[in-house]
Chains A and B, each alone.
Chain A
């Protein structure tokens, strides 16, 4: 960019041309810099530094400390805003026209199919990325001290991301969408007391209908995005107030030496730019190569077999097969949510933020927890499905609810005892091991739901042997 490109107002006559005037209004006269180029650079920098801190700790810059997961979420949401706004322009939110307007994207609009693919893959990658981000923050202890409430805000963001994904899932109005949403809204019906009302509100009536589509469309295109952007702003602001990303060193070591600061421009910004562009390139390639799925048009009279929820809810659907609905839908998720919220507010021996996995003991116990969940969850699934259902013959709520839950709870308590007695794990290390245990178990449940469940939700091999 040379100065010849920029229209310069005619200083002598005192009246700049129209476009020069507009240009001037965007980039007002320089205060300090002496050339146009310097001036533009200054304004850009001032703008960037308005959003980002001037200086960051050098120790937090390493890619493997954060893997850029938070920033990646932002980039993906940005991609979805752009592609989403394009699709709002052509999408018709009525049962008669919705499917056609989505199916016709490819043929009727320039790169219409690509736009939908980008939106679809960004949404799915986003769920994985925010979960990975949660795991990263948890394992590097980025939820102590000033960051405690930001963990809670992060959980709210996770809920919003899932809600955005789920409401978007219905919009194509194909068989996949219709039945996934039928199953998930039916789960609401099991909430004690208000379940029926809740289900009616979510559907806008007794069954999935025009009213459901309107409600989901409104939530997906306005309410959730606005809430998401506002909450994200809050989240980022709290990161900055806490002095940036958590330092990878233990707190004791940071006190010994003055932290080494480097300027955000270009050290942090260029790294973010590179990571963001790489991610965009990846999503683009994926969207070019793999089409977003679109089943047959929704048919309320015929459930496909098997009918599955979206993958991020398949863990819950898998729980449905093993527990009474009251436990699978209400009790277990409520416990999980409560446990996640409580993590930063339990009392720990020390604020052990910084290094991955806390310590050598932490590393070992975390590995044990991960392997335990990886081995035990499939064993339990198969055992419950094929061999013996504990509490069979008792009333369903007891036999499929209280009894298996009590057995699992006893196992977890036993596991905790093992960690403390055998490995001398501290409280933080126990909490970490249990977190890993449940996280891996959920991952196994999801994998089972996606690949190992066939017609009638029977256990099958994904490669079609046996079954």
Chain B
């Protein structure tokens, strides 16, 4: 800690260099700590059974009437068959604040119990506060069997025809 006389300049510059080094190391340690915490907090996909479980086999095409909505609670989605025979898999989560929207068959629309948002059979917003249509899941039809990939909900800003899957 003692400083030689006559070399104040070098001593203080060495000290300030070491001070800065401490600061730098402290900064690095802080970044590491934040990184570790962020990684521990980061969401992980915890779906049992691997990727296969992410595909739900809904059933044969003929089972679904045109203009009908079928709930798949295990997949957390509704399979909607439009009047023209096309399929849409709609996420059952309201796009406003995540409540589960039930299909009201008499009114032919989804009505959210939380803030009264309403959606039509294609998932389009009929009344706010929902800011966008219901999310969809990828549908594919293999050998007249409808399969839905629920690994990723697809956001959309509006309904368009190319979202509909036909056999």
Contact = CB atoms under 8 A, between A and B. Distances in A.
Interface of A: 179, 182-183, 185-187, 200-201, 203-207, 209-211, 215, 300-307, 320-321, 324-325, 396, 400, 455-458
Given A182-B99, A325-B129, A201 B41 contact: yes
The B contact surface, by secondary structure, is loop
Given A183-B114, A301-B73, A321-B115, A307 B99 contact: yes
A209 B76 CA distance: 13
A211 B44 contact: yes
Interface string B127-155: 01101000000000000000000000100
Interface string B114-134: 111000000000001101000
10 contacts: A179-B114, A186-B96, A204-B41, A204-B44, A205-B43, A211-B43, A303-B113, A305-B113, A325-B96, A396-B128
A204 B153 CA distance: 16
A210 B116 contact: no
Given A179-B99, A325-B96, A303 B114 contact: yes
Interface string B64-104: 00000000010010000000000000001100111111100
B161 interface: no
A200 B131 CA distance: 19
A301 B115 contact: no
A404 B132 CA distance: 21
Nearest to B128: A396
B1 interface: no
B155 to A, nearest CB: 9
Scoring B73, B92, B101, B129 by chain A CB atoms within 10 A of each residue's CB, the highest score goes to B129
B45 interface: yes
Contacts of B76: 207, 300
B45 A186 contact: no
A205 B152 CA distance: 12
Interface residues of B, number: 27
A457 to B, nearest CB: 5
A355 B75 CA distance: 62
Given A186-B98, A215-B41, A305 B114 contact: yes
Contacts of B45: 205
A416 B153 CA distance: 48
Given A187-B97, A207-B98, A305-B114, 11 more contacts: A183-B97, A186-B97, A186-B98, A200-B43, A209-B46, A211-B44, A300-B100, A303-B113, A303-B114, A307-B114, A400-B128
- When A and B form their complex, which 8 residue pairs have the shortest distance between CB atoms, in order from nearest? A305-B113, A186-B98, A303-B99, A186-B97, A456-B116, A200-B43, A307-B114, A205-B43
A167 to B, nearest CB: 14
B114 A457 contact: yes
A232 B96 CA distance: 37
B129 A205 contact: no
Interface of B: 41-46, 73, 76, 92-93, 96-102, 111-116, 128-129, 131, 153
Contact of B97 (A200, A210, A320): A320
A306 B114 contact: yes
A307 B113 contact: yes
A315 to B, nearest CB: 15
A205 B113 contact: no
Contact of A185 (B41, B98, B101, B114): B98
A215 B44 CA distance: 12
A400 to B, nearest CB: 8
A187 B114 CA distance: 13
B120 to A, nearest CB: 18
B102 to A, nearest CB: 8
A203 B43 contact: yes
A366 B160 CA distance: 55
B43 A201 contact: yes
Contacts of A301: 73, 92, 100
Contacts of B93: 207
Given A182-B99, A302-B100, A456 B129 contact: no
A189 B85 CA distance: 34
Contacts of B116: 456-458
A206 B99 contact: no
Nearest to A458: B116
A455 B113 contact: yes
A296 to B, nearest CB: 15
A330 B44 CA distance: 26
A301 B76 CA distance: 8
B73 to A, nearest CB: 5
Contacts of A457: 114-116
Contacts of A211: 43-44, 46
Nearest to A215: B41
Contacts of B129: 320-321, 325
A305 B113 CA distance: 5
Contacts of B99: 179, 182-183, 303, 307
B44 A304 contact: no
A458 to B, nearest CB: 7
Contacts of B92: 301
A183 B41 contact: no
A205 B42 CA distance: 8
A9 B130 CA distance: 77
Nearest to A184: B97
